Amino acid sequence: MAERSASVLVIDDDPITLTFLSNLLGDKGYHVLKAVDGSEGLDLARRHRPDLILSDLVMPYHDGFEILGELKRDAILKAIPVIMVSMRDKEQDIVRGFDLGAEDYIVKPFGAHELLARVRRALRAARAGEALPASAQAELAKR
Amino acid sequence: MQGLKLLLTDLVIDFNYFVLFYFLVLNTIYLLLFLVSLREIWYFVRRTFFSDYQQIMQSEMTWPISVLVPAHNEEKTIVQTVRSLQMVNFGEFEVIVVNDGSTDGTLERVVEAFEMRRIDHVYRRSIPTAPVRGTYASLEHPNLLIVDKEKGGKSDALNAGINVSRFPLFCSVDADSIIEDNALLRVVKPFMEHPEETVAVGGIVRIVNGCEVREGRVNKVALPRSGLAVFQVVEYLRAFLTGRVGWSVLRSLLIISGAFGLYRRREVIEIGGYERSTDTEDLELVVRLHEHMRRKRRPYRIVFVPDPVCWTEAPATLKVLQRQRNRWHRGLLQSLWRHKTMLFNPRYGILGLVAMPYFFLFEMLGPFVEVVGYAAVLLSWFLGILNPGFFLLFLAVAILYGVFLSLAAILLEEISFRRYSSWEDLFRLLLFGVLENFGYRQMLALFKVRSFYDFLRGSRKWGKMDRTGFPERKRKEPVIERERARVVEEK
Amino acid sequence: MNEKILLIVVGAVGLVVISLTFSILLMKSWRQGRITRQRRKRRAIEPGLLRYLGSREGALERFIPMPVEGSLRAAVVELLLEHTSILKGEAMERITSALEQLGMVREEIGRLRSGSAWRRAAAAERLGLARSPLAVEPLAKRLEDPDEEVRLRAGRALGQIRGTLAVRPLIAALSEPSRWSTMRVAEILSNMGSEAEEELIRSYPDLAPKARVAALDILGRLRRPGSASFIEQRLRDEDPDVRARAAHALGQIGDPTAYRSLLEAMQDPEWPVRAMAAKALGRLRVPDSAPALALRLRDRQWWVRSNSAQALIELGETGTRTLLDVLDSPDIYARHQAVLMLQQTGLVDRYVDQLCRADEEATLARRVVSRIAEMGRVDRLEELSRVHRFESVRETLAGILRKAAPASGARA
């Protein structure tokens, strides 16, 4: 399957979540990149252009919203789907995440298999987007 | 001539006995404080669940906090400070920067960085302050506010911040200090545990020199290279881990560092906010809170949390250090002098009977006794009554005891927070704990004696020393201003 | 003689100093050794253990070599406990069964009977993390513990395991004087749903005044519309704290039918009740409450004015229109609060943007901006007259400000 080789960037300042997620994804055959804070995360995203980003919200240096904003301003990086993974379960945070262009928002504590399913779906959706011709994409963007 | 010598000899011998007695009492107090602190820190560290802080953060019942940042000419650090404050772990809080008549770009930097715009603010003028020139808010950061006012000093800026603040608790933060991520959670906990009684809470302040700092956060803790700064690190460890913890247990904490402290707004307004006429507004505020609460016979707590909350830059040169200590000691003298009626006053409990006398006799007069003591040794030698064996042994006891106190503080750090993790740092801490008794201590005593002199000289012309008054308003007051003033007068 | 005593003192203090130094150094090396050992152990088991958590089947022994004992077992337990804060569902169930298999649950249940209150509290805390149903019974017994800390931690643990056994004792604990324990109890109960709701309403009359306030808070956080009518009645309680919290709770529940009783609460003699009612009305978003909120902009209390203005903004268009009407109010507080709110939400800036448009919007914008200028609330307007990106707007605005200046002068 093509998704096996997909690369995923995990950004989280909590070492437990970071290790857990990268092991979980690594075991499933994804190529995993790890970052412990916002600025390292942005840096890795720019250099490696992963297929998917899992990002924490509250982190030193750049929080998850700032990362989202940065990525979505970038012409190339904005195509990378971002899934927020956060302790914060307030409605306003979730809404803000989606408004800033997050693909999905997962609240910690999360179910491991549910998270994997959401990762698969996000990657599928991203590939479907790529497959469309440029004109169709522009059309989508307008809507 | 012979008679004079005899008289002098008697005097010197009496003084020597006095010094011996003084030394004994002082060190007994230190030892007791250390033991009290040891117990307290031991319990504190073992009984703190991390989940508690998470709960405080998530609960909607946690009191919201207004963080006040007085800033005078801080254009280099202010944006960074505000940014890192916004990242602090806490539920609901607002950050209020008070630009105290800066002559540099402090105001402009913040306005630019956070896309702020002027608003016509309506606020309660609970405490009179120097005129406010304008208020700025941001659509992007709804919990950030800047108050731009004419220069009135740090106390005045804090008072203006209190006026604008909305929440029941306010936290004063120095514009150049670095706040730990969980600092607010740590200091708000005593307010939640005893909501009726707690009026002020402080925490441990650390020295940032030598640490690796990135974007307003301490990334890696390390001892500074400069010896002068390491001396201060040891000194801070001693002051915070043994001194303040101990006094807090005895319900007589007199100082909450101006670098970081959390207060209940209502009581601070009751006492008229920060006092503008002393050199150390933090000490004065706490002393006045004590006085006020005791006078009103309201049960209250002023608490010290033995947990690191904030990092501050220590003076790197002797000159700056002297200036800082001069100011601190002068502030201490001023506050003690103003509140001398609390001394030995049973109405103030342990505070009046033990803590105040301690500060008077030891913190205030200690350096004096020390310096006169050295002079007396010289004089006895001159008079031929010096018993060298006795003198040397006494000196040895004094120094060893000093070493003991420093090492005890390092021990407390090692059983509790262990922020200095490398072996090298530990060795240097131990080494400087010993070395500080040969020179550094004596130097500080001299600084303090010097400030005593400044205090006496200053007090004579206090009436004229109008640092406290507001700068006169030259600008013509437009009618609009007047209308605003009227609204603002509302209680 | 004196010298001899001193010599002894020197010796004694010296000895203390030396032993202190050594104990510091020994402590550090012992601790560091332990940490290194733990890290090594952890590295050995971590990948296997994480794979165990991420898999759907297979017992623990398929992933790490069993049996584990001593410090290795401690490392496994620690690692499992650490992951309880980020996982739920299947993975969490696997943590629980691994902890049961390792004997951790049994051990901690034993510690619940320890002589030291601190140990009992710590055991309760860890059992809560482990979420084992085996612990429900023993934890429930701890709800009668003589130590408050133990009672609370046991209650919390039960809440985490989803045992509803704890509801009644926890509600009783609401009467404890410390806000901290109230907060913790409230959090546990707020996650319990209908069971807690029913019990809170049932036992409400027997609660102490402070506990009643907390109970209302919890009912608000439970957000169950069924309790709205019960809370509405509390708006007529004689205790103003109760009335204020009831108003707040109604806002949280967000049932729009409650707005009539909240309108009544806006007339309350106590300002905290009025302030909370205003805030709650903002959450209910019933446009009909706009006039009452506008009236409260003239309240003597700053908080009531501020909350009312905020609530008007929440009402959307009706609220904004009401705020604009308030600009003509004879009451200076109300006018100023309205201006501030329009500024804080960026509306003043938007009106300024529209000043030079060629449609009706411009007329409205002009009227609003002139009104604000006449009032003398010109800090933002003056700033915009310098920095606005269109020259035409800057000029128009400057003109309005010039014209308004004498007007405000005449009034004052």
Interface probe, candidates A23, A57, A58, chain C, greatest C C-beta count within 10 A: A23
Q: Which amino acid is residue B46, in one-letter code?
A: R
b/e burial code for range C12-25 (CB count within 10 A of at least 16 → b)? ebeebbeebbeebe
B contacts of C7 (beta carbons < 8 Å): 393
Binary contact (C50, A114; C-beta < 8 A): no
Closest Cα partner for C333 from C277, C384, C375, C373? Answer: C375
Show the tokens assigned to B31.
């030892």
Beta-bridge partner residues of B201? B262, B303
Distance, CA of C352 to CA of C373 (rounded, Å) = 12
Is the pLDDT score of C410 beyond 50?
no
Lowest mean pLDDT among B235-249, B447-461, C340-354: B447-461
* Burial of C269 per CB tally in 10 Å (0-12, 13-18, 19+): exposed
C-alpha distance from B137 to closest chain C C-alpha (Å): 7
Pick the CATH number of A3-142 from 3.20.20.370, 3.30.465.10, 3.30.1280.10, 3.40.50.2300: 3.40.50.2300
Pick the CATH number of B2-471 from 3.30.1300.10, 3.40.50.300, 3.40.1030.10, 3.90.550.10: 3.90.550.10
Show the tokens assigned to B407.
């090492």
SS3 B303: strand
C-alpha distance from C254 to closest chain A C-alpha (Å): 14
In this prediction, residue C172 carries a pLDDT of 78
User: C406 falls in which pLDDT band (50, 70, 90)?
Assistant: low
- Give the total residue count for chain B: 491
User: C177 falls in which pLDDT band (50, 70, 90)?
Assistant: low
Q: What is the domain partition of chain A in residue ranges?
A: 3-142
Q: Which amino acid is residue B435, in one-letter code?
A: L
User: B462 falls in which pLDDT band (50, 70, 90)?
Assistant: very low
Q: Which of B59, B189, B483 sits opposite C187 (nearest CB)?
A: B59
Show the tokens assigned to B158.
């804090």
The more confident residue out of B68 and A2 is B68
Closest Cα partner for B64 from C341, A92, C303? Answer: C303
DSSP B461: T
3-state secondary structure labels for all residues of chain C: CHHHHHHHHHHHHHHHHHHHHHHHHHHHHHHHHHHHHHHHHHHHHHHHHHHHHHCCCCCHHHCCCCCCCHHHHHHHHHHHHHHHHCEEHHHHHHHHHHHHHCCHHHHHHHHCCCCCHHHHHHHHHHHHHHCCHHHHHHHHHHCCCCCHHHHHHHHHHHHHHCCHHHHHHHHHHCCCCCHHHHHHHHHHHHCCCHHHHHHHHHHHHHCCHHHHHHHHHHHHHHCCHHHHHHHHHHCCCCCHHHHHHHHHHHHHHCCHHHHHHHHHHCCCCCHHHHHHHHHHHHHHCCHHHHHHHHHHCCCCCHHHHHHHHHHHHHCCHHHHHHHHHHCCCCCHHHHHHHHHHHHHCCHHHHHHHHHHCCCHHHHHHHHHHHHHHHHCCCHHHHHHHHHCCCHHHHHHHHHHHHHHHHHHHHHC
Cβ of B214 under 8 Å from any chain A Cβ? yes
Q: How far is CA C144 from CA B431, C140, C149, C152, C173, in A?
A: 52, 8, 11, 10, 11
Is the pLDDT score of C89 beyond 80?
yes
A contacts of B60 (beta carbons < 8 Å): none
C-alpha distance from A61 to closest chain B C-alpha (Å): 7
Binary contact (B117, C349; C-beta < 8 A): yes
In this prediction, residue B470 carries a pLDDT of 35
User: B288 falls in which pLDDT band (50, 70, 90)?
Assistant: very high
In this prediction, residue B381 carries a pLDDT of 84
User: A61 falls in which pLDDT band (50, 70, 90)?
Assistant: confident
Subunit partners of chain B (3 or more CB pairs within 8 A): A, C
Binary contact (C14, B118; C-beta < 8 A): no
Distance, CA of C362 to CA of C12 (rounded, Å) = 89
Is the pLDDT score of B312 beyond 80?
yes
Beta-bridge partner residues of B301? B198
Distance, CA of C189 to CA of C208 (rounded, Å) = 17
Q: What is the domain partition of chain B in residue ranges?
A: 2-471
Distance, CA of B255 to CA of A55 (rounded, Å) = 42
Per the CB < 8 A criterion, the answer to whether C301 and C271 are in contact is: yes
φ/ψ (deg, to 5) at C88: -140, -175
Cβ of A143 under 8 Å from any chain C Cβ? no
Interfacial residues of C (vs A; Cβ cutoff 8 Å): 46-47, 50-51, 53-54, 56, 82-92
In this prediction, residue A123 carries a pLDDT of 93
Per the CB < 8 A criterion, the answer to whether C174 and C211 are in contact is: yes
Cβ of B194 under 8 Å from any chain C Cβ? yes
Distance, CA of C81 to CA of C96 (rounded, Å) = 9
C-alpha distance from B459 to closest chain C C-alpha (Å): 41
Size of interface A-C (CB pairs under 8 A): 50
Is the pLDDT score of C282 beyond 80?
yes
B contacts of A39 (beta carbons < 8 Å): 215
Q: How many CB atoms lie within 10 A of CB C225?
A: 11
B contacts of A58 (beta carbons < 8 Å): 87, 89
C contacts of B414 (beta carbons < 8 Å): 24, 27-28
Closest Cα partner for C208 from C236, C166, C241? Answer: C241
B contacts of C118 (beta carbons < 8 Å): 46-47
Q: Which is it for strands B144-149 and B93-100: parallel, antiparallel or unpaired? A: parallel
Q: Report the mean per-residue pLDDT for chain C.
A: 88
Dihedral sign for Cα atoms in the order C293, C297, C300, C304: positive
Give the residue ranges of DSSP H helices in B255-383. 265-270, 281-295, 318-338, 349-350, 356-358, 366-383
In this prediction, residue B1 carries a pLDDT of 64
**Chain B residue with the nearest C-alpha to that of A57:** B87
Cβ of A27 under 8 Å from any chain C Cβ? yes
pLDDT > 70 fraction of chain C, expressed in percent and rounded: 96
B contacts of C3 (beta carbons < 8 Å): 387, 389-390, 393
Binary contact (A60, B89; C-beta < 8 A): no
C-alpha distance from C124 to closest chain A C-alpha (Å): 21
Q: How many CB atoms lie within 10 A of CB B429?
A: 22
Subunit partners of chain A (3 or more CB pairs within 8 A): B, C
User: B287 falls in which pLDDT band (50, 70, 90)?
Assistant: very high
Show the tokens assigned to B232.
């201060």
How many Å separate Cα C180 from the centre of its chain? Answer: 13
Per the CB < 8 A criterion, the answer to whether B245 and B147 are in contact is: no
Lowest mean pLDDT among B269-273, B418-422, C49-53: B418-422
In this prediction, residue A1 carries a pLDDT of 43
How many Å separate Cα A97 from the centre of its chain? Answer: 11
Show the tokens assigned to A57.
């919200």
C-alpha distance from B191 to closest chain A C-alpha (Å): 24
pLDDT > 70 fraction of chain A, expressed in percent and rounded: 87
What does the angle CA C123 – CA B193 – CA C150 come to, to the nearest 5 degrees? 20
C-alpha count within 13 angstroms, C-beta hemisphere, residue C335: 17
C-alpha distance from A108 to closest chain B C-alpha (Å): 13
Q: Report the mean per-residue pLDDT for chain A.
A: 86
User: Does ipTM come in above 0.90?
Assistant: no
Kindly calculate the radius of gyration of chain C based on its CA atoms and give it in whole angstroms: 32
Strands (E), A41-142: 52-55, 82-86, 104-107, 110-111
Interface probe, candidates A34, A54, A113, chain C, greatest C C-beta count within 10 A: A113
Q: Which of C3, C16, C339 sits opposite B404 (nearest CB)?
A: C16
In this prediction, residue B474 carries a pLDDT of 35
B contacts of C24 (beta carbons < 8 Å): 407, 410-411, 414, 426, 430
Average pLDDT over residues B74-94: 89
Residues 339-378 of B with CB under 8 A from C: none
A contacts of C46 (beta carbons < 8 Å): 19, 23
Per the CB < 8 A criterion, the answer to whether C54 and A24 are in contact is: yes
C contacts of A23 (beta carbons < 8 Å): 46-47, 50-51, 54
Cβ of A61 under 8 Å from any chain C Cβ? no
Q: Is B129 left (phi over 0), alpha (psi -120 to 50) or beta?
A: beta
The residue with tokens 């106390």 is B155
φ/ψ (deg, to 5) at B63: -70, 135
Is the pLDDT score of C164 beyond 70?
no
**Chain B residue with the nearest C-alpha to that of A88:** B58
Closest Cα partner for B337 from B195, B215, B207, B452? Answer: B452
Size of interface B-C (CB pairs under 8 A): 136
Is the pLDDT score of C6 beyond 60?
yes
pLDDT tens-place string over residues C220-249: 988 888 889 999 999 999 999 999 999 999
Q: Report the mean per-residue pLDDT for chain B.
A: 86
Cβ of B476 under 8 Å from any chain A Cβ? no
